[in-house]
Amino acid sequence: MNDCLFCKIIAGEIPSAKVYENEDVLAFRDINPQAPVHILVIPKTHIDGAGSITPENAASVAKCFVAISEIARQEKLSGGFRVISNCGEDAGQTVKHLHFHILAGVKMGEGML
Ligand code: AMP
Ligand code: ZN
C-alpha cells in the first residue's frame, strides 16, 4: 500500500492544480505558495528524495529538469526562477517523494543561496 501523497496526486486520487504533464513528469501548483509562482515538479516514479537518486533512476531526474525548462517557457518566467529540492529533516522536507520547487514572480533575496 503506497501512502505517498504525491503518488496519490499522480494517480488522480487527490486533486491538484496541474500546470504540466508528460509520460514521466507531473507539475502542479503548490497548495501553500511561497512566491507569486510556486510550482512543484515531480517524477511519476517514486523516489524518496534527492538523497535517493541513483544511476538507475537518474533518467527520471533529468526528465524533471527538461520539464522545468519547458514549464519556465510555458509560464513565461523570463525574469528568472529558483529551483529548490529539500532533502531530509534539517532541510524541512515534508513530502517524501522527490520534488523540485520552482519559485518565481518576485525578486528573491540571497538568504540561504
Ligand atoms: P517540502 O516541504 O520541500 O517537502 O515541500 C512539500 C510541498 O508540498 C510544500 O510546499 C507544501 O505546501 C506542498 N503540498 C503539500 N500538499 C500539497 C497538495 N495536496 N497539493 C499541492 N502542494 C502540496
Ligand atoms: Zn510517491
Q: Convert the pLDDT of each residue in 37-81 to its tens digit.
A: 999 999 999 999 999 999 999 999 999 999 999 999 999 999 999
- Ligand 1 atom with the shortest distance to the CA of 38: 10
Mean pLDDT of all residues in the chain? 96
The phi and psi torsions of 3 (rounded to 5 degrees) equal -100, 15
Mean pLDDT (whole number) for 18-30 = 98
Residue written as grid cell 518565481 = 104
What is the C-alpha to C-alpha distance for residues 73 and 83, in angstroms, rounded to an integer? 15
Please tell me the pTM assigned to this model.
0.97
Give catalytic status of residue 97 as yes or no.
Answer: no
18 — phi, psi (to 5°)?
-70, 135
Which of 38, 46, 97, 99 is catalytic? The answer is 99
pLDDT of 112 higher than 80: no
Which protein residues touch ligand 1 with a CB less than 6 Å away? Answer: 5, 14, 16, 28, 30-32, 40, 86, 92-95
Beta-bridged to residue 28, according to DSSP, are: 18, 40
